[in-house]
Amino acid sequence: MANDRQTVVLITGCSSGIGLKLAIHLANDTKKQFYVIATMRNLNKKEQLEAAAGDTLNKTLHIRQLDVCSDESVTECLNSIQDKRVDILVNNAGIGKIGPIESLSIREMKSIFDTNFFGAVRIIKAVLPDMKRRRSGHIVMMSSVMGLQGVIFNDVYAASKFAMEGFCESLAVQLLKFNIYVSMIEPGPVNTEFEMKLMDEVSHSTFPGTDSETVQFFKDVYLPASRDIFATMGQTPDTIAEATIKVIKMERPVFRYQTNILYTPLTAMKYADDTGNMSIRMFYNLLFNHGTCFKISLSCLRIVTCSWFRSGAVSPN
């Protein structure tokens, strides 16, 4: 049971990656100020989290089942929490999807939205009444730079994150009236199982319904560029966990928080040109006209960015 001085944090998607690291970092807080409810849809995957939790297990870290795509699962999880009190909700669960849209069925696309958008909305709806009643709370969303800037062959994933950004930007205004804060954490690439799952998925696909020119672009241009970008600019899930904790601990949390200093110029470009042409042309030229220059730039970047620089989160202050 959480004591009165502890902040109850519920995190979704803690079987791996960012969610797992965030749960562990919070549970290990030296002042034990957090009571972490680390949730996952499949408890058969809890071993990694249990092992990482060590002594904090069932003290400051508690594992519960929660599938963001199921009303029953969300209700059951909240009913298992004392007074259904959640001070901070971290909507972290998410799935990716890459590839030419011709080869993706509408059903597959809907499943991305079911998890990344409606899954997050489902839990927000469940915790809001109590947060509003107590006039206190913080909703933290694991968004992405792709919630601000579309990226080739990530069309549906980016759309799901854009949807979440629009939803939260609207909601944040209403919730301020109730002293409830909303924050978007916007990482660039993060080296977790996320990317591996995507690469594995496309390695088995024949891209039905897609013309050979597009498939060739995807396989020969996009995939190698994506691997290079993750190798060069990818952050660790620990870095994202630390950046998220920084926002969680703020007295007046900010709305947007980008974690990767190397990505801020890309998103800034979008706001610098309201026609949208600058960023679309720049991405086009980098991929299709100046591929060699792009590769050289990434290689140079790899050399000049030591791991310390790459792990540096952008401070909102």
Q: How many Å apart are CA 102 and CA 121, to the nearest integer? A: 28
Pick between residue 153 and residue 210 the one whose CB is nearest to ligand NAP.
153
- Phi then psi for 149, rounded to 5 degrees? -135, 120
Q: Residue 92: CB partners within 8 Å, gap ≥ 6?
A: 11, 12, 13, 14, 18, 19, 22, 142
- Is 205 annotated as ligand-binding? no
**Are 287 and 152 spatial neighbours (Cβ–Cβ below 8 Å)?**
yes
- Is 34 annotated as ligand-binding? yes
From the list 2-10, 123-131, 192-200, 295-303, the region that binds ligand NAP by CB under 6 A is 192-200
Tell which positions 134-153 bind ligand NAP, by CB under 6 A. Answer: 142, 144
Among 30, 42, 82, 212, binds ligand NAP (CB under 6 A): 42
Q: Residue 260: CB partners within 8 Å, gap ≥ 6?
A: 145, 187, 188, 189, 233, 235, 313, 314
**Binding flag, residue 194, ligand NAP (CB under 6 A):** yes
- Is 150 annotated as ligand-binding? no
- Is 37 annotated as ligand-binding? yes
**Binding flag, residue 17, ligand NAP (CB under 6 A):** yes
Q: Exposure string (b/e) for 273-296, b if CB count within 10 Å is 16 or more? A: eeeeeebeeebeebeeeeeeebee
Pick between residue 210 and residue 267 the one whose CB is nearest to ligand NAP.
267
Binding mask 97-126 for ligand NAP (x = CB under 6 A): ------------------x---x-------
Catalytic residues: 157
**Binding flag, residue 45, ligand NAP (CB under 6 A):** yes
**Binding flag, residue 154, ligand NAP (CB under 6 A):** no
- Is 41 annotated as ligand-binding? yes
DSSP state of 57: B
Cα–Cα distances in angstroms (integers) from residue 44 to residues 39, 130, 308, in the given order = 12, 30, 35
Q: How many Å apart are CA 186 and CA 18, to the nearest integer? A: 12
Binding mask 62-81 for ligand NAP (x = CB under 6 A): -----xxx------------
Q: How many Å apart are CA 219 and CA 79, to the nearest integer? A: 47
The count of chain residues that interact with ligand NAP, using the rule CB under 6 A, is 31
- Binding site residues, ligand NAP, CB under 6 A: 12-13, 15-19, 40-42, 45, 67-69, 92-95, 115, 119, 142, 144, 187, 189-190, 192-195, 197, 237
